[in-house]
Structures are given as C-alpha cells and as structure tokens.
Amino acid sequence: MNAPPKLVVFSDLDGTLLDHDTYQWTAARPALDRLASMGIPVVLASSKTAAEIRLLQADMSLTQHPAIVENGSGIIGLDGENQTPTYTKLRRQIEALPDRLSRRFRGFGDMDAAEVAAVTGLSLDAACRAKARDFSEPGLWSGDEDDLGQFQDVLSAHGINAQQGGRFLTLSFGRTKADAMNTIVAALKPEKTMALGDAPNDIDLLQAADFGVLVANPHRPPLPELPGEEQGRIIRTTQAGPTGWNTAVNAYLDMLNEHVGHNSHG
Ligand SMILES: [Mg+2]
C-alpha cells in the first residue's frame, strides 16, 4: 500500500483554477507540474458533471486522482466509493409534485441539448456533457417567490435541497463539496489538506481544510472576512483565477518545504 500523501489539494474550477472569462488554466501549470512531481493529488471540486470533469482531468493530467462532481453530490475515481446515481429518483420526485409547482421548474432533463446550449452558452457537445447527470438537476424557475417557497418546502419534505445559483436553481439530495471532501480525506489520509475557491459555495470547503485560499474574482463582490483569516489559516490572493492559484500553491509548498522538508517518511 502506498504511503499517505503529504498533502491533498482540493480546488474549485470556474473563477478559481479556470479563468472566469477564458476558462484557461495554463497560468497554473507551473504549480500543477510541481504538485505532480511531488506526488500530491489535486482533487477538482465543482458543480460540473462527471463527463465535464473527466475531460478537464485529462487535459490537466489529473485522471489518476478522485474528483468531486455535481457540487459534492458525487465523487469519481475513488476506490470502493460506489455511489448509486440518484438522478432518476430525483426526476421522478420532481414530476410527482403538484403540477402547479412542478410546471414552473424546467430542468436540464426537460430540455434537449440545443436548449441547454442556448440557456448556458455552452457548445452543443459541452451541453451534452452537462446533461449527462447522475445526482443533481439544474433548471430555470419561472414562478414567483411565493411559489418558489412552496416548491422548496415540498422538496425539502422529500429530502431534496434547492440551491439558487447565478442563473439556475439546482436540486439535489443535499451533499455538499465539504461532505465529499471529508469522504476523500478519510480514504487518502493526507497529512495536510489545502483548498482553493472563489465563491460563497466554496466557503465550507475552505473551512474544512488545514489551509484555505480565497482566490480573487474581480467579477463578484468580495466576500466578508471569514473565520480563520485573522489567524492566517485562510488567505486571499490578490491575483485572480489560475494566476492567483499558481502563486498561492507555490508559496504554500515553499512554506511546507521549509517546515517539514527535513522529515523523511522514506
Ligand atoms: Mg467558482
């Protein structure tokens, strides 16, 4: 059996490891190469589907590591982690709701790939990957706030959580990125964990890590000060996206080398 890794890095994608505008990650390549040479796993953690994340993992040479998909509802690439997809059950429960409420919600499962491409701005190929869902259902809500409240109450009685994102209302059985991170940490048993994210839905992930990095995103208002920032357990980058990612990861690896470099587990 392999020795546990010294560190596992958990990272959000959009606005964090991927540039907000161009979706490029090449600015983070030096730090990614350094992590790879040290045998440190990088676990991608995103709202994207397994089909979408596998493509990015291949691009970044990260296919040997687990990843967190559909906002924590699922984990791919972890031995012994056999999850039963819940998408069909989720869709059935939405369809069984009173028509007055369910017809206000138009999920990706109600749309063909062309419509998903139109509402997301994705290409048709990418829309097909975004439609290949196992656990959660994003969709557009067309009712008023009162109906939305009732919809959420009824869903909640079925154990379904509804999260409002920038554009889509995403329904799932409620596991978060941090829940999935805990499962991966229990399996890999790293000495330390580092997490990077840019948005409110990454805060749990940053709080669950030994060291958290809030990557600057000039496209959203800055988050209020987080617990742990004053102690330096959580830091903010000044550079945005993959450039900030690269700087923060390199600085943390330098610091770990200084402090534990003389310890050998060989
Ligand atoms: Mg993000």
Domain ranges of the chain: 7-81+176-260, 87-172
| pTM metric for this prediction | 0.87
Instruction: Give 45's pLDDT tier (boundaries 50, 70, 90).
Output: very high
> What is the Cβ-side half-sphere exposure of residue 179, based on CA atoms within 13 angstroms?
11
Cα–ligand 1 centroid distance for 16 (angstroms)? 6
Cα–ligand 1 centroid distance for 20 (angstroms)? 8
* Separation of alpha carbons 182 and 180, rounded Å: 5
In SS3 terms, 40-51 reads as: CCEEEECCCCHH
Q: Which CATH class is domain 7-81+176-260?
A: alpha beta
Cα–ligand 1 centroid distance for 198 (angstroms)? 5
Q: Does domain 87-172 fall into CATH 3.30.980.20?
A: yes
Cα–ligand 1 centroid distance for 85 (angstroms)? 24
Q: What is the pLDDT of residues 25-41, one digit of tens each?
A: 999 999 999 999 999 99
Question: What's the pLDDT score for residue 164?
Answer: 76
Question: What's the pLDDT score for residue 131?
Answer: 97
Cα–ligand 1 centroid distance for 46 (angstroms)? 8
Q: Which two tokens stand for residue 62?
A: 């990260």
Cα–ligand 1 centroid distance for 203 (angstroms)? 11
Q: What is the pLDDT of residues 158-209, one digit of tens each?
A: 999 988 776 789 899 988 899 999 999 999 999 999 999 998 888 999 999 9
Task: For Cα atoms 224, 71, 253, give the angle at the middle one, nearest 5 degrees.
Answer: 65
Q: What is the pLDDT of residues 140-156, one digit of tens each?
A: 999 998 999 999 999 99
Cα–ligand 1 centroid distance for 237 (angstroms)? 14
* Separation of alpha carbons 133 and 48, rounded Å: 9
* Separation of alpha carbons 29 and 59, rounded Å: 11
With residue 193 as reference, give the H or E element that holds it: strand 192-197
Amino acid identity of residue 128, one-letter, is C
CA distances from 264 to 3, 179, 184, 252, 260 (A): 12, 31, 24, 19, 8
Amino acid identity of residue 148, one-letter, is L
Residue 159's region, left for phi above 0, alpha for psi from -120 to 50, else beta, is left
pLDDT of 265 strictly over 60: no
